[in-house]
Structure 1
Amino acid sequence: MPADSSPPSRAESAAPVAVLATDLDGTLLRADGTLSPRTRDAIAAAQRAGVPTVFVTARPPRWLDHLADVVGDATGGIALSANGAFEYHVASRTVTEVGTIAPADLAAIAARLRAAVPGIAFAVERADGFVREETFVRRRRLPTDDRVETWDAVASVAAGKLLAVAPDLAPAAFHDAVAAALGDTGELGFSGAVGLAEITARGVTKASGLARWCAARGVDRHEVWAVGDMPNDLPMLRWSGRSFAVANAHPDVRAAVHEVVAANEQDGVADILDRIALDRIAGRAGRAGDRAVAPASRQES
């Protein structure tokens, strides 16, 4: 079932935070894909204060392995991958499919798109890795095993994401053509990869993945703070109790959130985490002070 995408009420948005959900590329990570020492420390401090950070990303599972030491026990060791299609236990490298596209749906969606977009080619992100048909050619930022199969073989196994390119079309025209042809048969996300269409199953978004993860841990949506930078983050940002964009975010994202923080290169997410940790510490101190003065108040009465 799709996550409720209606924005929380003002009262819900002011609720105490229980978890910070963050996108990775362009948000938590620097432009070179690394995690700054300051942000690493801020994640640890917030977790010690009782607020874990859960990664919610378009990345496939295998692109998360280098972050295993940052994914804390408080999240169950889980990162949410492929725009909500997979839960990935990073330390054990175990993929759980929570919202994949069935083989019959892969074939149907591809047929619709081939009829509408000349020269389109496909690949998939599956639980067992990346697989493409021969005509899908794209330079990828991170290394990947390059498995080439016939389209029938590619589409024979459920996939977290269906990827598409059409090199002869301008990126904006390609994205618009895919959106029109796809209709409501799937979810088209834009994570910043120019000229790449990233499609998940109908109703599967970062919001649905995060909602499932939170429900399993008894966390209400109004207790979730979320931060992102690109349009594929919007479902998660609208679902969460309080939403943030980094200053380098897409204009549509900056316009949709409660608050804009510093850019990823200036550790904007660390600023949020520092605020969370300080508020938690201050709250504990206040409660301890209330308990300390209570007996004296009773004596005075």
Structure 2
Amino acid sequence: MPVALPRLVATDLDGTLLRSDGTVSDRTRRVLAAVEEAGVEVVFVTARPPRWLDALAHVVGRHGRVICLGGAAVWDLAGCSALEVTGFDAATALELVADLRSAVPGVALAVERTDGPAFDPWFPKDEPHLPAALRAVPVEEVLDGGAPVGKLLALRPGSGLSTRPGDVVRGATADAVQDEFFARVRGTVGERAHLAFSGAAGLAELLAPGVTKDAALARWCARLGVDRADVWAFGDMPNDLPMLRWAGRGIAVANAHPDVLACADAIVGSHDEDGVAAALEEALSSR
């Protein structure tokens, strides 16, 4: 039976709304516009940093904002500025970096801030267009100023895997080597950071305590006066689970991680089948 439209739709991007090639299909673009025209707010909630959002400006909606960095920031695309940032201060980030270096020899680290990233010189060069200066020195040497660190990335030594958006290795969580790496990272950071997993194998994503997609989405909804019961959330990876559990209706795409499929209120077609768009089309048709 068709389900009526909610007041707000929150959706992850990579592996959920976007196709495997990182694009928004024409069908999805049309449906998002129709949903907005029907009075429903659509907000993207993504692990992406701000620099990976410009290509999506045409589908963000009239508000022009994205919850990014896994919930650490709200980014205004039109103004190219952060409206909200919750992250590690320099002192905490430095402590975490030092402890990770000691616990995982050879670990490759990167920091994501709303004013730009920084990488260890040996971090994989998946973004060759970035200035070489961002890789000139180990990250701890650039942590004495700037915006809070929204996300600290730790790449397993020897993994040699891509961290670009959309380059997800689905079998990663079954890898005993990766499980051991995550356990070591988790044991090292303790309560000082929250460990998230958005799909890139071998990559541990560390956020400040309390920073999750659901917390950022809850603040967004509170400002609009939207109750969680009136929210649909779409996702595919474990870092989407808090958001899917918080929303009135948590929906997984068919290609989602097994843990996400197991907890979802509903499952729609895969990201390459425009599953999010199909679900919203059905709701629109029931009006």
Percent of matched pairs sharing the same residue: 48
1:293 match: none
Deviations 1:16-35 (A, max 9, x none): 61111000000000000000
CA distance in 1, matches of 2:202, 2:138: 22
Give the one of 151, 154, 159 matched to 1:164.
154
CA distance in 1, matches of 2:105, 2:191: 21
- Are residues 96 and 119 of structure 1, via their aligned partners in 2, closer, same or farther at CA, if it must alter by over 3 Å? same
Contact conserved, 2:118 with 2:139, CA < 8 A, in 1? no
CA distance in 2, matches of 1:142, 1:239: 38
Matches within 5 A, 1:144-183: 144-146=130-132, 147-148=134-135, 149-157=137-145, 158-168=148-158, 170-183=177-190
1:54 is paired with a residue whose SS is strand
Give the aligned residue type for 2:218. A
The Cα of 1:143 is off from its aligned counterpart by 5.0
Contact conserved, 2:90 with 2:143, CA < 8 A, in 1? yes
2:109 match: 122
CA distance in 2, matches of 1:116, 1:179: 11
Q: Does 1:191 align with 2:191?
A: no
**Deviation larger for 179-188 or 147-156:** 147-156
1:138 match: 124
Deviations 1:67-109 (A, max 9, x none): 1111111xx2111000011111112222234211111111122
Gaps of 5+ in 2: 160-176
CA distance in 2, matches of 1:242, 1:45: 20
> TM-score w.r.t. structure 1 length?
0.82
The Cα of 1:142 is off from its aligned counterpart by 8.2
2:74 match: 87
2:256 match: 249
1:64 match: 53
CA distance in 2, matches of 1:258, 1:264: 17
Contact conserved, 1:22 with 1:228, CA < 8 A, in 2? yes
CA distance in 2, matches of 1:72, 1:264: 20
> TM-score w.r.t. structure 2 length?
0.86
- Are residues 144 and 108 of structure 1, via their aligned partners in 2, closer, same or farther at CA, if it must alter by over 3 Å? same
CA distance in 1, matches of 2:196, 2:38: 34
What's the Cα RMSD here?
1.9
Gaps of 5+ in 1: 1-13, 283-301
Contact conserved, 1:65 with 1:91, CA < 8 A, in 2? no
Question: Aligned residues, how many?
Answer: 264
Q: Does 1:101 align with 2:88?
A: yes
Give the aligned residue type for 1:42. V
Give the one of 273, 278, 289 matched to 2:280.
273
2:241 match: 234
2:9 is paired with a residue whose SS is strand
**Deviation larger for 14-23 or 246-255:** 14-23
CA distance in 1, matches of 2:12, 2:129: 20
